[in-house]
């Protein structure tokens, strides 16, 4: 079943709930019919007692027969309503089970899709989702003649953290840094864990080079705030230094691959020079 149709079914009033309402109405009608049957039975019994000692005229006898016939029909209607209500209850039960299964399958599908497009450690988009959004961002930038920036971010000497303190500490550092980069980003931008201690950051509609460097400086400042870690009864404070490479569309590349590759090159330049960040445009102009 198409996902949109499933979503509509879940969003709209439940068929099981609608049937449940019908069942409630039918139960109330059944109760009214039973009350009518009881009333008719009482009336007929009273009439018979009143007429036992006297002569019964053909008209009265005929009327009594008719009311007894009506009583029988009402009782039969009550029995049929009981059968209908039992069938409705079974239908409500079956539909409720089906709806619960459908909701569980949709949730499972959404979770599987989310897992396939996000990094399991940090929860950030993975490379597949980043590449998809980057392609859409480039298409938008080309149509509207606006700029787009890709930042490639790497954590300096991160391997030593894993070697010295263990991967558990390294994972906490990565999760903390991922949260800080995400916090520094805008809603329309995309932050991705590229792999290991590398992150990618796509910024759309950046107006100037200075805007890019200002954002890079902000990210560096946030990342370099001490990471206070408590694990295995050990407290430690680690200061992480990042290196960021910046490539801009269209000046530094017009494809997703070229922008990521050039931002990567600029990042290594920043790491070598210990400058925090580097622009690919400066690297391209360097005599080296």
Question: Model confidence over 81-121: pLDDT tens digits?
Answer: 777 777 777 777 777 777 777 777 777 766 667 678 899 99
Angle in degrees, CA 157, 216, 200, rounded to 5: 65
Instruction: Return the sign of the alpha-carbon dihedral for residues 230, 234, 237, 238.
Output: negative
Catalytic, 197? Answer yes
Instruction: Give the pair of three-digit tokens for residue 277.
Output: 């960040």
pLDDT, average across residues 194-205: 94
- Burial of 45 per CB tally in 10 Å (0-12, 13-18, 19+): exposed
Question: Model confidence over 20-47: pLDDT tens digits?
Answer: 677 677 777 767 777 777 767 776 676 6
Could you say which of 119, 154, 189, 197 is catalytic? 197
Angle in degrees, CA 242, 246, 249, rounded to 5: 155
pLDDT, average across residues 155-166: 93
The hierarchical CATH code for the domain 127-285 is: 3.30.70.270
Distance CA 196, CA 171 (A): 10
Question: Model confidence over 227-264: pLDDT tens digits?
Answer: 999 887 878 999 999 999 999 999 999 999 999 999 99
Instruction: Give the pair of three-digit tokens for residue 171.
Output: 């994972």
- Least trusted range by pLDDT, from 51-65, 90-104, 118-132, 175-189: 51-65
Whether the model pTM is above 0.75: no
């Amino acid at each position: 079943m198409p996902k949109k149709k499933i979503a509509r079914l879940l969003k709209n009033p439940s068929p099981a709930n609608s049937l449940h309402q019908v069942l409630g109405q039918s139960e109330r009608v059944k109760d009214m019919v039973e009350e009518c049957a009881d009333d008719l039975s009482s009336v007929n019994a009273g009439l018979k007692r009143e007429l036992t000692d006297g002569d019964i005229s053909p008209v009265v006898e005929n009327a009594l027969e008719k009311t007894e016939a009506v009583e029988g029909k009402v009782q039969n209607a009550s029995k049929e309503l009981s059968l209908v209500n039992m069938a409705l209850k079974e239908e409500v039960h079956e539909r409720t089970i089906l709806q619960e299964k459908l909701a569980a399958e949709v949730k499972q599908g959404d979770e599987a899709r989310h897992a396939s497009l996000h990094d399991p450690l940090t929860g950030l988009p993975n490379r597949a989702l980043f590449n998809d959004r980057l392609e859409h961002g480039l298409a938008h930038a080309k149509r509207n003649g606006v700029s787009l920036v890709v930042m490639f971010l790497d954590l300096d000497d991160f391997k030593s953290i894993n070697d010295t303190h263990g991967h558990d500490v390294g994972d906490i550092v990565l999760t903390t840094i991922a949260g800080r980069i995400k916090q520094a980003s805008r809603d329309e931008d995309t932050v991705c864990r590229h792999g290991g201690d590398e992150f990618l950051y796509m910024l759309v509609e950046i107006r100037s080079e200075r805007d890019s460097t200002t954002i890079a400086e902000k990210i560096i400042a946030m990342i370099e705030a001490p990471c206070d870690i408590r694990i295995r009864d050990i407290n430690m404070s680690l200061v992480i230094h990042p290196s960021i490479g910046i490539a801009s569309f269209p000046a530094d590349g017009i494809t997703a691959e070229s922008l990521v590759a050039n931002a990567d090159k600029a990042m290594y330049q920043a790491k070598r020079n210990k400058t925090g960040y580097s622009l690919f445009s400066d690297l391209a102009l360097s005599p080296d």
